Amino acid sequence: MSEAAERHRRLSGIFLDRVKGTRDWDAPAPVDGWVARDVVRHLVDWFPGFLESGAGVRLPGGPSVDDDPVGAWQAQHDAVQAVLDDPASQGKVLHNRHVGEVPLDQAIDRFYTADVFMHTWDLARATGQDDRLDPVMCGELLDGMKPIEDLLRSSGQYGEAVPVAEDAGVQDQLIGFIGRDPDWAPPQR
């Protein structure tokens, strides 16, 4: 099993736990204008098209996020894991005009699994669940993103960085870097 497959199994599984633990899908999320359901919607909406257009891999669909956010995430989690576990996927390459040619498992790991990891904080924070992230992964992502900060910000995928204390932990540094306030709490409803 590849490192990318194992990392997806672990990190997407943690996100799945947060999805299953969500009781209020309309709870405000840390992303401006989003609610908890939108965190799942974002991941379910963008990735299948990216994968199909770049690698010709079509994920089987699941229920809609509006009707069944848990079922929608479970279906995507299982489908992506199946791609990563399939020996036929080895050697496939994702082609993308922005990132060039990247081995499929590395592309999934770098662009999708990392996104799932970061959005775990959003969903957990919105729904009052455990929002602690793996500090080693936080550090790896932060170290990888800092050198390409201008590119990331110009892509429109990341908001302006939120300043954090110089001695902030690595999770707060990552959350601030991607444009979230590490101290964000849902408004009282």
What is the CB-side half-sphere exposure of residue 171 using CA atoms within 13 A? 13
User: What mean pLDDT comes out for the span 141-146?
Assistant: 93
More confident residue, 152 or 30: 30
pLDDT, one tens digit per residue, over 86-123 is 998 888 998 988 778 999 999 999 999 999 999 999 99
pLDDT, one tens digit per residue, over 21-38 is 999 999 999 999 999 999
Cα–Cα distances (Å) from 87 to 13, 83, 152, in that order, read 21, 8, 32
Six-digit token string for 117: 């990891």
**The whole model's pTM is what?**
0.93
User: What mean pLDDT comes out for the span 155-175?
Assistant: 91
More confident residue, 89 or 132: 132
